[in-house]
Every structure is written in C-alpha cells, then in structure tokens.
Structure 1
C-alpha cells in the first residue's frame, strides 16, 4: 500500500465516520498528516458505499491484528486471524501489517544495504550489536548474513537474538547512528518488538539445514530451554500442507485420532481438506464425526495438540523418515 493510497483510505474512513468523530481523530495526528488527509478529503466528491465498507473492514482487521500482535506476538496473531478470517485473508492482513511496521522500524539503511557489504561490516561488530540489527531485518536477509559467520559466532548471535526481550530507544538510536555513519558511503537508504524466539525462528526457517543444526546444537549446550523452545516453533502446524503426500501419511499414522481432531479445531477448511485427502474414507468419516460433536475447545488446548503433531513431524524429519523443505537447496552428492 503506497503512501498516497494509505492517505486516501484514511480520508475515506474519516468521511464515513462523520464530522465529530473525524475531528477528534484528526486532533491526535501529526500536522503533516492532517494536511495530507485534509487535501484528500477536499478532493473527494463521492465515495462508493462498497468502497467505504471495504476500507472500514480493512481498518478493523488491521486494528485487530495489531492488538493480537501486542498481546502475544505475530504467531499468536496469525493463529487467531486464521480462525477468524481464514488462512488466505489472515496472511494478507499480517503481510500488510508487516509492511507498515517495516516502514516504522529503525535501521532502514541496513535494510537496504547490499547483503555482502553489510556482512563484511558486521563481521567486525560485537555479537550483541549484530543480533540487535538482525532483529530488525528481513528474515531471509538476516539468514543470509548469519550464515556467513563462524559456527561459534552463529550460535552466540542466535543466543542473543533469542534472549532479547526489550531494548531502550536510546540504545537503538546510538547503534543506528554508528551503523548509518559506516554505511552512508555505499548504501542508497532503506527494519520495534525486538528479538525473541519468534524472530530467531523466522531467521532459522530461511537458513539451510546445516546452519540450523549447528546453531541448535550449540544452543542445546549453552541454553537447553531456549533450544527446546526454538525447535518447537521452527515448524508450525499450518506448514503441514507443504509436506509431500507420502510424508503426511507417515505423520498421520503416528498421531492419535483424538489429538488430530483437537488439532484441527478452528483451522481453515483448506488444511482440513488436505488432512482428509491423506486419510482413508473411514478415518475421515470418524474424524469428521468427532469434530462435529467435540464442542468448544480452549485455544491453549488446540495449540498444545497442534504442537504434538509438529513434534511428530520434527522427530520423523530428524531420523530421515520424512523431508522438510528449507530455505537453501540441498547439495547434490555424487
């Protein structure tokens, strides 16, 4: 969504809310935005009711998504939005929210830097500084940079990322100024909850299996609890649709029917159909019947059931029974 499109949407939303409410909202905005929105309002002669409904719905979904993210993080928001909106719409809302948040984050200059040049400079920085910067970067780019460090440094940086909870604006600003000074000679220009397990997981989901295994192995030695939490989150239940048919069937043979029914509670129809397609007609009939008569279930119970299915997937992957696709292509051994 471009700035112009965003400003126009804001203008249409304010028009639909009425004079009194709009005036109250406008008073809370920066002067520069008040001028831009006022210009758009002045140049709008007619608003299509369907367009108003669409923009109002988008605003409510984005507001809801922001609230979920603040409550429990991106994965928590994604799970709740999947249940409320369906997988496709939930992905669109999360993607839009991520784009907006990226424009608000610090370290813009590092986000636009050439990955190799950025790596060359970060190789000489302290692990805690590298970790902080990677927290604000695109996961695939952060993964590319992380894989260039030595195995020991990778683990140390990963540990820092996984244990960061909060960082003061003053620290961020100080580091950002230093980085901008170093990068200003070759970067054109153009990544706040910082760090934590989910940030580390996003990065590890984009690196190759060897890099991931090295980092996990080192974390298991230094911080076993962090390693366990990272491993539990590396593959989400929704990712099961990316498995090969034969692999899915191997997983489902090791999952208790009651556990599978609870895990499917509230997921999108696409995921349910994918599971049904990999079961016998009798098993599908039994599973559908159990889902029908299950009744309401606590979100925590559903998530626990889904995590047990994920644990089976991870175990089968580790022993080579199934294959999980990763960020890097496997090397070919002749």
Structure 2
C-alpha cells in the first residue's frame, strides 16, 4: 500500500464502484483531477484482488475515523450523496462495507473440491446451496459435480430460488464449517447471494454430464425455472459460437420470415454467421425480407429469437449439434 499514490488508490476505488457510479463521482471533480484519474485507470489493466481490498479497507478506515479534522463517515456520506444522490450513495456505502468485511467462505476457495465435497456431505442441502452461492463459479461447479446426482438437482433448485441470506445464518454456517475444517478465518456476511444467474454460471463451468443431471433434476421440480436457466445459458447472440455445420442444420428448421424478424438490430457478427451459412439464393431472399419488414416491435423480435434458441436447444438435446461454450476449448474431430 505504501507504494501507491493517492491518485492510484482513488482510481482503484472508482473501478470497484462500477462504471455508472464512478462516472457520476468523476463528474463532481475538477478537470485536472479527472485527467489524472483517467490516466491511472488506463494503466490499471489488472489489479490484484488483495491489493484492491486493501484500498477499500483504507477508504473505509478513513471514512469511519477520518484522517484528521473534518473527515469521518459523515463527510464520506455527504460527498457520496452530493455526487450520486441519497439512494445510490447508500448503496455504495453498503457495498463498500460488505466488501471490506470479506468473504465468509474464503477458507474454502482454494481447497481441493473433493475435500470440500467431503466437508459438506453431512450438511443440509440449503446450507450447501448457501456455501456454493458464495464461492467462485468454477470452484462451485467442480464441487457440485462431486455430489450425488439427486443432491445436485436439489441444491441447484435451492440456489436458483435464493435471493438474500440472513447475515447471522451465513456467519453461523461459516463458523461451523471453519471448526470442522480446523481453519482460522474471521467470518463475515454477504447479504445478496444466489439467484438464477449464479446458478447459470456454476452450471456453465461444470462438466457436460453434471450439466445434464442438474437441468433434468431441476425440470422435474420446476419446469418454468429450468427453462429460465436454459434460456440464460444460451442466448440468440451466442449463435456465433456454433460450428457452420450446426448453424446450417438450425437454419434448415427456421422459416425465412421468422429469421428476418430475429435478425433486426443484431450485431454484425451474428448477421455474418447467419449469412455465410445460407445459399446465395436464400441469402438474397432473406435480405429482401428484412428490407420489406421496416420497423418491428422489440417484443416480436425477442419472440422470434427465443423460438430459434428453442430450435437450437432441441437439436442439442437430441445430440444433432454441439454448443461450444465461449470459455471452452475447440472441438477436435
């Protein structure tokens, strides 16, 4: 920390506030201050998480006790309210305080997945779901893959429905696991955990067989929720990840009228993926159809795209195509 300048610390703090909030804070600064901070932000391509946490801790310490006369929590809150408004300022302070308190299950983050599975095996499914929702998605994916198939679906369902957890409950579970693991780490709270998106990220990082078991088990419990998870796992823009042969198979099952609506407002990459997998005549017909459409309601565009995604998922489930996730290795013939 001693090696960092005040401007560097301010830049790191702004990066952790998020783009919108950081922009509003910078709007309150002098031009030369904005220029200095911008220069530092450009230099900060990668920041060690521990160093970033130390900057947050220092900011928190200064905001609570103050560096001297005139500082303290009151001043920090006043500056944030002036920059962001009362509601957003409260959110920033809450986020900072939560971040500074650390992760309650950090002692599991670098533990071997098999050891964590053994540690969690006697815990209630809700407790296991709570723990996995706090861990990094790739680590949580490896852990859930080691659980019994029936338990995987149950835990997936619980993670998806989880929204907020009582800090006292989180602390109690963390302390209990720490004692069992013979680890020493101060536990803390992370109030907002779980939900559909964390579950999607976990499943995306699990192996294909685990993904299949979880989705099937989830569907047997809550088909609507399972469908929401599936829809988030592959969106229309992801067709750029399909191999050409797979894309051609998909296009053979989609009507030109539906495809023309789905392509309204898409990125150049998505449009090029579709066009290069059509015959010259089909491509000309599609371009003509799109031009004749004119403006189309967004809801109709979304419906058309959703219908095509369903075609893709059916083809994947039947084994006719393979969807390569963005982070996965290339397939080898």
- The verdict on a shared fold, with TM-score over 0.5 as the criterion, is yes
Q: Where does the alignment leave 5 or more consecutive residues of structure 2 unmatched?
A: 15-21, 34-57, 68-83, 92-97
Do the aligned residues in 2 keep the contact of 1:265 with 1:302 (CA within 8 Å)? yes
1:307 has 2:306 as partner: yes
Aligned length: 266
TM-score (ref. length: structure 1): 0.64
Question: Over aligned residues, Cα RMSD in angstroms?
Answer: 4.3
Per the TM alignment, residue 5 of structure 1 is displaced from its structure 2 partner at its CA by: 4.6
Do the aligned residues in 2 keep the contact of 1:127 with 1:153 (CA within 8 Å)? yes
1:210 corresponds in structure 2 to 209
Per the TM alignment, residue 192 of structure 1 is displaced from its structure 2 partner at its CA by: 5.3
Do the aligned residues in 2 keep the contact of 1:161 with 1:200 (CA within 8 Å)? yes
Q: 1:3-22, aligned counterparts within 5 Å? A: 5=8, 7-8=10-11, 17-18=28-29
Distance 1:104 1:289 in 2: 56
Per the TM alignment, residue 317 of structure 1 is displaced from its structure 2 partner at its CA by: 1.4
Per the TM alignment, residue 157 of structure 1 is displaced from its structure 2 partner at its CA by: 0.9
Q: Secondary structure at the match of 2:304?
A: helix
Distance 1:234 1:136 in 2: 20
1:85 corresponds in structure 2 to none
1:280 corresponds in structure 2 to 279
Q: Secondary structure at the match of 1:199?
A: helix
Q: Where does the alignment leave 5 or more consecutive residues of structure 1 unmatched?
A: 23-28, 39-62, 71-99
2:126 pairs with one of 125, 128, 139: 128
CA change 1:229–1:276 in 2 (3 A) is: same
Structure index of larger Rg: 2
Q: 1:173-192, aligned counterparts within 5 Å? A: 173-183=171-181, 185=183
Per the TM alignment, residue 175 of structure 1 is displaced from its structure 2 partner at its CA by: 2.5
2:81 corresponds in structure 1 to none
Q: 1:200-239, aligned counterparts within 5 Å? A: 200-239=199-238
Cα shift readout 1:43-72 (whole Å, capped 9, x = no counterpart)? xxxxxxxxxxxxxxxxxxxx9xxx9xx9xx
Per the TM alignment, residue 132 of structure 1 is displaced from its structure 2 partner at its CA by: 1.2
Higher RCO structure (Cα 8 Å, ≥6 apart): 1
CA change 1:134–1:299 in 2 (3 A) is: farther
TM-score (ref. length: structure 2): 0.64
Distance 1:6 1:274 in 2: 43
Cα shift readout 1:278-331 (whole Å, capped 9, x = no counterpart)? 1123333333344445444444433322221111011111222212236889xx
1:46 corresponds in structure 2 to none
CA change 1:148–1:9 in 2 (3 A) is: closer
Per the TM alignment, residue 9 of structure 1 is displaced from its structure 2 partner at its CA by: 5.9
More displaced 10-residue stretch of structure 1: 156-165 or 261-270? 261-270
CA change 1:113–1:312 in 2 (3 A) is: same
1:245 has 2:248 as partner: no
Q: 1:1-334, aligned counterparts within 5 Å? A: 5=8, 7-8=10-11, 17-18=28-29, 32=61, 106-183=104-181, 185=183, 193-292=192-291, 294-325=293-324
Do the aligned residues in 2 keep the contact of 1:110 with 1:183 (CA within 8 Å)? no
Distance 1:264 1:235 in 2: 16
Distance 2:301 2:60 in 1: 46
Do the aligned residues in 1 keep the contact of 2:125 with 2:151 (CA within 8 Å)? yes
Q: Secondary structure at the match of 1:125?
A: coil
Do the aligned residues in 1 keep the contact of 2:166 with 2:191 (CA within 8 Å)? no
Q: Secondary structure at the match of 2:175?
A: helix
Cα shift readout 1:49-97 (whole Å, capped 9, x = no counterpart)? xxxxxxxxxxxxxx9xxx9xx9xxxxxxxxxxxxxxxxxxxxxxxxxxx
Do the aligned residues in 1 keep the contact of 2:315 with 2:321 (CA within 8 Å)? yes
Per the TM alignment, residue 249 of structure 1 is displaced from its structure 2 partner at its CA by: 0.5
